[in-house]
Structure 1
């Protein structure tokens, strides 16, 4: 029996995915939102964590995967539901140690078999995600440029960003100009839109 912890913030989608996985008699499914992951894994560690990368707070789940390492040093396997046009999401999943990549816009009939394969130590990448995963490391923006752009996306002014990051206002403008240039955007808002489309923000 393969035990799965399905993490999703939206109750309806969480229940739907759990029903889909439960049709496989070899899979036992528990569900939670991101706040319950640590408690669930402490109470009864799962073999596999399944997360939808477009789900709210999914990136937070990826960031604390390492903290879920068990007493023997093992980490739960990670399967992500993703889109091939969001290279940034795929990169973050790769950094978090995901070994299963399922196209959330593709057929759903193989999700159970992918979960069991990954639980057994295998790897799986849907063909439609392979190209995106190959280019997942090609993020043209530096971490600082991404941070400045993320604050700008929240509506912060140049002076507020400078204060938050302990930078000069001119330096913040330089980072924004670099982000616009590197993304090929027309202006700051276009750079934010493109970065979100690619999953970098």
Structure 2
């Protein structure tokens, strides 16, 4: 039995994805929102974790595997991303985080089922429709740590909260913010967040 964890911030979407998977194969499916994701991931140790790349909070987790001060992803190599062709920057970020599979959200349900089986078997899966988006994605100019800091700032976390979550000194967090602002060519931190969101980096 393949253990699958579906992470999504919308309950109805989680339920629909779980129902689809249960009807299509020998999958033991558990669902969770980001609030309980760490607990579910640690207790279940899933073979595959399905994550929507467009969900709020995904960026921070991709950058360092954590939500707040708790580890969310048991293993990046078991992650299957639901993605869209309109956000190549996001795809590039997910690829840097070493996600194992990528399914086009506009594709057929059968593609998701096939992808889950492939990732559970330790293989890669990339929808053909997403391949060109991968090629079009410009390299992310920010380091993984800068992305993580910027993503948490974009969610409204204070410098102290970011420092605590990432086990950094407050001064180090400020340095990462300054570097991200400079690398994006932004006028200030708010502008850096805006640019990064537009490009799909955060």
| TM-score (norm: length of structure 1) | 0.69
Offset of residue 9 of structure 1: 1.0
Q: Does structure 1 conserve the Cα–Cα contact (< 8 Å) formed by 2:79 and 2:99?
A: yes
Offset of residue 87 of structure 1: 2.3
Q: Which residue of 2 aligns with 1:81?
A: 82
Q: Which residue of 1 aligns with 2:161?
A: none
Q: Does structure 2 conserve the Cα–Cα contact (< 8 Å) formed by 1:49 and 1:76?
A: no
How many residue pairs are counted as aligned between the two chains?
A: 182
Q: Which residue of 2 aligns with 1:97?
A: 98
Q: Does structure 1 conserve the Cα–Cα contact (< 8 Å) formed by 2:41 and 2:73?
A: yes
User: Aligned partners of 1:2, 1:144: CA distance in 2, in Å?
Assistant: 33
The structure number with the bigger radius of gyration is 1
Compared CA separation, residues 153 and 31, structure 1 to 2 (3 A): closer
Q: For residue 110 of structure 1, give the secondary structure of its aligned residue in structure 2.
A: helix
User: Aligned partners of 1:128, 1:81: CA distance in 2, in Å?
Assistant: 12
User: Aligned partners of 1:149, 1:79: CA distance in 2, in Å?
Assistant: 21
Q: For residue 49 of structure 2, give the secondary structure of its aligned residue in structure 1.
A: strand
Offset of residue 193 of structure 1: 5.3
Q: Which residue of 1 aligns with 2:163?
A: none
Correspondence 1:1-201 to 2 at 5 A = 1-62=1-62, 63-64=64-65, 68-69=73-74, 77-136=78-137, 138-140=139-141, 165=174, 179=184, 195-201=196-202
User: Aligned partners of 1:19, 1:48: CA distance in 2, in Å?
Assistant: 16
RMSD: 3.9
Offset of residue 36 of structure 1: 2.0
| CA offset digits 1:5-29 (Å, max 9, x no partner) | 0001111111111122222122221
| CA offset digits 1:56-112 (Å, max 9, x no partner) | 21223323178755xxxx765110001222222212211222111011123232211
| TM-score (norm: length of structure 2) | 0.69
